[in-house]
Amino acid sequence: DTAVSQTPKYLVTQMGNDKSIKCEQNLGHDTMYWYKQDSKKFLKIMFSYNNKELIINETVPNRFSPKSPDKAHLNLHINSLELGDSAVYFCASSQYREDYGYTFGSGTRLTVV
Amino acid sequence: LAKTTQPISMDSYEGQEVNITCSHNNIATNDYITWYQQFPSQGPRFIIQGYKTKVTNEVASLFIPADRKSSTLSLPRVSLSDTAVYYCLVGPMNYGGSQGNLIFGKGTKLSVKP
């Protein structure tokens, strides 16, 4: 009954590969997000997405793209992986205009070698 | 979104009350103050949110002075399991879309010792 679940939890891959991280939420929230946490523990927003609007952080390379097959899923596709993409990626969700904050997944640790 | 400043780290002992202060001098009228907790290898977890004065829930209390330029998260009688990083965030209530993307700072690493 996990609220926000991500798979895989760990991902090790070589430079140049293309990979995807999946995220699903069963909270009925209408907005989902992807955050990146780097080695210095900074959490930075990458994307926010609901049925009407995709907001992309301008610092995110276009090798990263979110894919949302439906309201409960927001997957992250990464093309041509680079060493600097190594980080922990968190998926989160929230309900518009409600005050209980974001619910985060447990993260996917991506290591590019 | 308003920039926040927190202590990088704090140490405490089991059973003590811990107060973590966050400065947000340029908080906007429609901004709320939210605190998150993050354990190693886990995503941040919502703790508490407030706009002014005092808010209390089963986990913590949040004190916000009248000028709202700072806030204090109070954790009563901490235990070893409260060792975590605590983030203070300031932003509008309307989560979702361009209005609600939370910006996390460095947070405060709280270490609770026996």
- The mean pLDDT value for B51-69 works out to 94
Identity of the residue in A31, A95, A107 whose CB atom sits nearest the CB atom of B43: A107
A58 contacts chain B (CB < 8 A): no
What is the CB neighbour count within 10 angstroms for residue B57? 10
Taking the C-alpha atoms of residue A23 and residue A67, their distance in angstroms, rounded to an integer, is 10
Q: From the candidates B87, B89, B101, which should be mutated to test the interface with A, based on the most A CB atoms within 10 A?
A: B101
Does position B102 have pLDDT exceeding 70, yes or no? no
| Beta-carbon separation of B95 and A43 below 8 A | no
CB < 8 Å to A50, chain B? 96-97
pLDDT tens profile A43-65: 888 888 887 678 777 788 999 99
Taking the C-alpha atoms of residue A10 and residue A110, their distance in angstroms, rounded to an integer, is 6
For position A44, what pLDDT does the model report?
A: 85
DSSP characters over B19-79? EEEEE-TT--TTEEEEEEEE-TTS--EEEEEESSEEEE-SS-EEEE-TT-SEEEEEESS--
Q: From the candidates B36, B55, B95, B102, which should be mutated to test the interface with A, based on the most A CB atoms within 10 A?
A: B95
pLDDT band at B101 (very low <50, low <70, confident <90, very high): low
Closest CA to A6 of A61, A64, A95, A74: A74
CA of A88: how far to CAs of A10, A85, B17, in Å? 9, 9, 32
Higher pLDDT, B1 or A85: A85
pLDDT tens profile B69-86: 999 999 999 999 999 999
pLDDT band at A98 (very low <50, low <70, confident <90, very high): low
Interacting residues of A37 by C-beta distance below 8 A, sequence separation 6+: A43, A44, A87, A88, A89, A90, A107
Does position A88 have pLDDT exceeding 60, yes or no? yes
Could you tell me which chain A residue has the CA closest to the CA of B98? A55
Could you tell me which chain B residue has the CA closest to the CA of A29? B96
**Closest Cα in chain A, distance from residue B103 (Å):** 7
